[in-house]
Amino acid sequence: MPRIFLLFVSVYILASCSASQQTNQSGSSLTGKIDSIYSKGKFNGFAVSIVDAEGSLYQKGFGFADVDAHKKYTVETVQNIGSVSKTLVGIALLKAQEMGILKLDDPIGQYLDFKVVNPKFPNESITIRQLATHTSSVTDNQFYLSRNYYLKSNQDLKGMKMTFDDDQNFNPSDSIMSMKAFFENVLTEKGKWKCGSFSANKPGTVYEYSNVATALAAYIIEKAANQSFRDFTKQYILEPLKMKDSGWNFEDINFRKFSRLYENPETPLPHYELVTYPDGGFMTNIDDLSKYLSELIRGYKGQGALLTKESYAEYFRPQLSEVNFTERNIKNPYNESYNVGILMGFGYTGYIGHTGGDPGTVSMLFFDPKTGLGRIMILNTNFSDKDGKKVFFDIWNALEKYQTQFAH
């Protein structure tokens, strides 16, 4: 019996060593492949990750978090991730519903301390679910770009651009307003910036991607929970997942780890925050975001820790049908607008996740429900030409090519 046991242990150790060696070889090969693509010079710094339900299988940073300071971009480098942030709003909504403080099909007027109605449909109530599925008829007008982005205080602005893509302004830090003030200006009948804030479609009928609607859903969580959205998500998402380097503003994170953002490889941008921060202002790194995606994969399997099995099923349930779309993207498999869950996107091939983009940041977070494998990519540099797009997807596709070699 002891000899059989020793033989079993020896075989197990040899198999484990062989698997570990293969993983190391795959990791080195993938790193070399990405290094080669990065050398084309389209991005200053970025990080990637491959995960499954158990955790990260491969993660690595490339390039520079600050070119002038020669600061490397690592797995601990923090930056904002754009609209991937919206997926946390969806989790928070389902958590709030579990707690009994709101229901997705409640009218938003039940929670707001100001009136929000589509003036073209004054008798139609807008629901929380409609906000969370981009069917509320609330749209992003010009003031979302011109009045929503504010400079971080106490930073050196010498040589920095104060606009992005001409129509997106970085406003002075001392003029920042609350989310409530922004909504009152944009969404109410007497608002100064109300022009173009609602579509011509009846609430609940047509998918129209809306940052403002997402932020309004987060504001409703604040009102229902009597707690800031920052604190609510910290308590019910970040702390349970041990996402220690993540938060919603510069006070929440270790700024020494924060990346400089770039409009292009040669043009640095100032540090900024969003008034409507829940729709795109989440600050995190690839290590923390990998923990989050692993939890989403577990949740899809009914084994998540943040929500009940039933809540996760609702989170991932396609909420709309073909009649809700005026057009659908059937060319890009990594697109959140073919169908939606509760602020969770679906590509036409079945991939689940979200993309993100803001001044100086590009992000993608998706998993394949068939394999249970997920990928993440965060960049600190925008791109606008075909060459940049090709390099981006060359890296993304390299992750897909190698991901099965890391699977447990």
In a domain, 395, yes or no: yes
pLDDT at residue number 159:
86
* Contact of 381 with 265, CB cutoff 8 Å: yes
Q: Is residue 227 a part of any domain in this protein? A: yes
| Residue 84 counted as domain residue | yes
Residue 24's pLDDT band (boundaries 50, 70, 90)? Answer: low
Residue 138's nearest CA partner among 83, 223, 216 is: 216
- Taking only the tens place, the pLDDT of each residue in 53-98 is 999 999 999 999 999 999 999 999 999 999 999 999 999 999 999 9
Domain that holds residue 369: 23-405
Tokens, residue 202:
């009846």
Q: How high is the pLDDT of residue 11?
A: 46
Q: Which residues contact 238 (CB under 8 A, 6 or more apart)?
A: 244, 246, 247
Is the residue at 334 inside a domain?
yes
User: Into how many domains does the chain fold?
Assistant: 1
User: Among residues of the chain, what percentage have pLDDT more than 70?
Assistant: 93
**Looking at residue 264, which CATH number applies to its domain?**
3.40.710.10
Q: What is the pLDDT of residues 322-372, one digit of tens each?
A: 999 998 878 888 888 899 999 999 999 899 999 999 999 999 999 999 999
Q: Please give the pLDDT value at position 106.
A: 99
Is 267 inside any structural domain?
yes
Average pLDDT, the chain: 94
Give yes or no for residue 20 having a pLDDT over 80. no
For residue 281, the 8-state DSSP code is -
Our CA dihedral for 240, 242, 244, 249, rounded to 10 degrees, sits at -30
* Cα 166 to Cα 136: distance, rounded to the nearest angstrom: 28
- Is 37 within the bounds of a domain? yes
Cross-strand bridge partners of residue 27 = none
Query: 21: pLDDT confidence band, cut at 50, 70 and 90?
Result: low
DSSP secondary structure letter of residue 152: P
Which parts of 256-348 fold into alpha helices (H)? 286-300, 309-315
Is residue 9 one of the residues assigned to a domain?
Answer: no
Q: What is the pLDDT of residues 265-317, one digit of tens each?
A: 999 999 999 999 999 999 999 999 999 999 999 999 999 999 999 999 999 99
The Cα-based distances of 241 to 8, 34, 290, 295 in angstroms read: 36, 29, 10, 8
Length of the chain: 408
Q: Please report whether residue 5 resides in a domain.
A: no
